Chain A
């Protein structure tokens, strides 16, 4: 049985749905600012929205990690940490390339 339970599924669903719409609104605001003539401010706001999109799955893993921590499930905590570490290495590889 997946002992993750419905509680964690509900909180993840809320995080992801609300997060996606917030990020989309920020991106839309940035694009509108750009088209209205505020080019550099618009670009910064759009970039912030894109960054929010990229941060969402990371917040999702951290939430799952917290859930396993509370449940005392060390094995699955380790898997979550591994995923976060691989993403960190990948971003670092991107920066140094």
Chain B
């Protein structure tokens, strides 16, 4: 591999991961469309490199979340059974799904992410809690606010949450992304976790979810070290920087800008899904 290609892979991943860090999203959702669009990489090569970087960024980011006392480890282990089962299903069909199907699914996930970004997450208002509480073993408490007082929370509707997590694992394996877009509704809405706990626990889980597919793709020889190496390095560095930038940047303009980026990438993936050769159209 040339130094130039390595430098391009590194900078695209660094940028994607910075974007992801600023938005609190995993970087895979930007890395794969950019690698395919800018460097004309094969989509499966981009996906298998991306899933390794997703695992690395989860491990890098989970440290801070753990130290802050925000991760619900017991809940994570149980949900990981669902996400890794989903990832296993994804591994089994990865070779069978045609490229156009991967592009199409990617476009759908990008649109869903754009939609989610337009609707900011809110803590659920006080809701009716049922008297029956079968998931008490998973309840926790997390430090909130400046005084660091621990606020208790309950875990609800675990089976619904696990069903959604299975889907998140499946999509993660197929597209090489962390699937935050599917985990957020599962954790915020189904399990009714506080946003901080949900984000931290999700980051913690992505590594294990990703390993179920990353390990399989490595064993199958689908991971090219010369591609995955610079992608991992760029995204780990980008995520570390992005976590700092996130504190300073916010606002609606930024949100609209990223919605536009996501929609543009969705259009790119949709065009590829339909097999339209843009270059031929422009020059023909």
Binding site for B on A (CB under 8 A): 1-4, 6, 8-10, 12-14, 16-17, 19-21, 23-24, 27-28, 30-31, 34-35, 43, 46-47, 49-51, 53-54, 56-58, 60-61, 64, 75-76, 79-80, 82-83, 86-87, 89-95, 97
Contact = CB atoms under 8 A, between A and B. Distances in A.
A90 B56 contact: no
Given A1-B139, A9-B71, A57-B208, 7 more contacts: A16-B62, A17-B59, A23-B56, A31-B233, A49-B232, A76-B74, A91-B219
Interface stretch (B123-131, B179-187, B210-218, B275-283): B210-218
Interface centre among A4, A20, A28, A90 (most CB of B within 10 A): A90
B141 A54 contact: no
B152 to A, nearest CB: 8
B69 to A, nearest CB: 6
B140 interface: yes
A93 to B, nearest CB: 6
B58 A57 contact: yes
Interface stretch (B78-86, B109-117, B244-252): B78-86
B211 A86 contact: no
B212 A30 contact: no
Interface in B37-70: 52, 55-56, 58-60, 62-64, 66-67, 69
Contacts of B74: 2-4, 76
A41 B56 CA distance: 23
Nearest to B232: A27
Contacts of A86: 81, 84-85, 88, 212
A62 to B, nearest CB: 11
Interface residues of B, number: 60
B87 interface: yes
Nearest to B73: A4
A2 B143 CA distance: 13
Interface string B140-152: 1100000000001
A43 to B, nearest CB: 5
B220 interface: yes
Nearest to A91: B215
Nearest to A2: B140
B141 A50 contact: no
B212 A90 contact: yes
B207 A91 contact: no
B159 interface: no
Contacts of B87: 90
Contact of B91 (A58, A79, A93): A93
A82 B215 contact: no
Contact of B1 (A3, A34, A83): A34
Interface string B213-233: 111111110010110111011
A21 B140 CA distance: 30
B274 interface: no
Given A79-B78, A79-B81, A1 B140 contact: yes
Contacts of B66: 9-10, 12-13, 16
A19 B84 contact: no
A58 B220 CA distance: 19
Given A34-B226, A79-B81, A87-B84, A17 B232 contact: no
